[in-house]
Amino acid sequence: MSRRAYPSNTLAAAVRRHFGLTQVELAAFVGVSQQQLARVEAGRKQLGPGPDQRLQVLARQLPPPDGHGPGAPAFTDDEAPAAERAEAAEGLAALRQRLARCQWLRTDLAYQIGQQRQPGQQRHQRRQWAVRVLGPLLAAPLPQPDWLAPGGPARPLPPYPQATPDAARDTHWLQGLALRLAATTPPLPPAAAALARARLAGLDAEIQELTAAMGEFSE
């Protein structure tokens, strides 16, 4: 059988190129390891009688002058089989779905990292403490002044009352503070913030790779 010039100048390489096979696939067909086939293609080893016979089965399907088979059609992306086009469409849809997910995760994570700086861990904890300790104080009723008791005041009046003069108003104010506190995402502790920044960097890298991959699909 005459030989055509191929980059590796071997029959195995010609068969692989003609049928679009990988070294692993052709090696499995002829019955050798991928490493052995690689040495055969490099010209450093010969196939044994059994594997060579199996290789010749495929080699006879090469177009003349190497074999007796028909020439391969001119494959192009536009003429790809319907199954391949459907598979490509599914792959592009999966890329878009993952990209949208990564972008959402990045937005949420960036917001959490921003909360680390404002209002800050210590201020957030102080506001929680204030809601707890001010609740009973502002809800306490105003005590009866001593000067209204029979016989006059028993002791000097304090310069300011010990309870708020309007418990309902001030309790409502405290409830508003508690609602704003509950709606605020707690700041991340330092270690958690460092992990969040690492995840953010990973998401940025994945978004970049996905965007580049989608660009290749559209070319």
Tokens 């191929």, residue located: 6
The set of residues, in sequence order, having a beta carbon less than 8 Å from that of 188 and lying 6+ positions away, is: 112, 113, 115, 116, 196
- Residues 146-201 have pLDDT tens digits of 555 555 555 555 555 566 767 788 888 888 888 887 877 666 677 877 888 899 99
Lowest mean pLDDT among 82-91, 172-181, 208-217: 82-91
- Cβ neighbours for 202, distance < 8 A, ≥ 6 positions apart: none
CATH superfamily of 1-72: lambda repressor-like DNA-binding domains (1.10.260.40)
Measured between alpha carbons, how far is residue 17 from residues 8, 12, 27, 61, 150 in Å?
11, 9, 14, 12, 112
Residue percentage of the chain with pLDDT more than 90? 10
DSSP secondary structure code for residue 91 in this structure: H
Nearest CA among 135, 145, 139, 130 for reference residue 167? 139
Flag whether pLDDT at 101 surpasses 90.
Answer: yes
Both tokens of 142, joined, read 């105003």
At residue 207, the pLDDT reads 92
Q: Reply yes or no on whether the pLDDT at 25 is more than 80.
A: yes
Annotated domain spans of the chain = 1-72, 82-141+162-218
Q: What's the predicted TM-score (pTM) here?
A: 0.37
C-beta separation of 1 from 59 below 8 A: yes
Q: What percent of the chain has a predicted confidence (pLDDT) above 70?
A: 70
Q: What share of the chain is helix, strand, coil (3-state, %, to 5)?
A: 65, 0, 35
CA distance 56 to 43: 17
